[in-house]
Structure 1
Amino acid sequence: MRLRDKAVVITGAASGIGKAAAIRMAEEGASVLLCDINTKEGELTAEHIQENGGTALFMETDVTDEDSVQQSIQYAYKQWGAINILFNNAGVGGHEKKLHEVAAEEWDQVINTNLKGVFLGIKYVVPYMLEKGKGTIINTSSVLGFKGKKRTGPYNAAKGGLVTLTKNSALEYGRYGIRVNSIGPGVIDTPIVDEWRKDEKKWQIISSANALGRIGKPEEVAEAVLFLASDEASFITGETLMVDGGGLTF
Structure 2
Amino acid sequence: MHRTTSGYANLFRLDGRRIVVVGGAGGIGRESVRALAAHGADVIVADRDEAGAVETVRLARQEPPAPGSRTGTAVPYPLDVLDDDAVLRAAADWDAPDGLVVTVGANVRKRIADYSLDEFDRVIALNLRAHLSLMKAVAPAMAARGSGSVVGFASMRAFTVEAGQSVYAAAKAGLVQLLRTAADEWGPQGVRFNAIAPGVVRTPLTDQIADDPRWYDAYAQASALRRWAGADEIAGAVAYLVSDASTFVTGSVLTVDGGWTAVDGRFDPSV
Q: Deviations over 1:31-77 (max 9, x none)?
A: 11111121111111112323555311111211122122222222222
Q: Kindly indicate whether residue 94 of structure 2 is the aligned counterpart of residue 54 of structure 1.
A: no
Counterpart amino acid of residue 222 in structure 1 = A
Q: Deviations over 1:169-214 (max 9, x none)?
A: 0000111001110100000111111000232212210122111101
- 2:67 alignment counterpart: none
Equivalent in 80, 97, 101 of residue 83 of structure 1: 97
Structure richer in helix, relative to its length: 1
Q: Kindly indicate whether residue 50 of structure 2 is the aligned counterpart of residue 44 of structure 1.
A: no
- Which runs of structure 2 are paired with 1:97-246 in the superposition (5 Å)? 97-246=110-259
**1:153 Cα deviation (Å)?**
1.1
Counterpart amino acid of residue 161 in structure 1 = G
Q: How many aligned positions are there? A: 245
Checking the alignment, whether the CA contact within 8 Å between 2:202 and 2:210 is kept in structure 1 is: no
**Which of these two proteins has the greater Rg computed from alpha carbons?**
2
- 1:69 alignment counterpart: 87
Q: Kindly indicate whether residue 20 of structure 2 is the aligned counterpart of residue 9 of structure 1.
A: yes
Q: In percent, how many aligned pairs have the same letter?
A: 33
CA distance, structure 1, for counterparts of residue 72 and residue 58 of structure 2? 9
- How high is the TM-score relative to the length of structure 2? 0.87
CA distance, structure 1, for counterparts of residue 78 and residue 126 of structure 2? 15
Checking the alignment, whether the CA contact within 8 Å between 1:35 and 1:72 is kept in structure 2 is: no
CA distance, structure 1, for counterparts of residue 155 and residue 137 of structure 2? 23
SS at match of 2:179: helix
CA distance, structure 2, for counterparts of residue 39 and residue 125 of structure 1? 21
Checking the alignment, whether the CA contact within 8 Å between 2:144 and 2:189 is kept in structure 1 is: no
Counterpart amino acid of residue 151 in structure 1 = G
Counterpart amino acid of residue 198 in structure 2 = P
Across the aligned residues of Structure 1 and Structure 2, the Cα RMSD in angstroms comes to: 1.3
CA distance, structure 2, for counterparts of residue 227 and residue 51 of structure 1? 21
Checking the alignment, whether the CA contact within 8 Å between 2:15 and 2:72 is kept in structure 1 is: no
Checking the alignment, whether the CA contact within 8 Å between 1:143 and 1:244 is kept in structure 2 is: yes
**1:217 Cα deviation (Å)?**
1.5
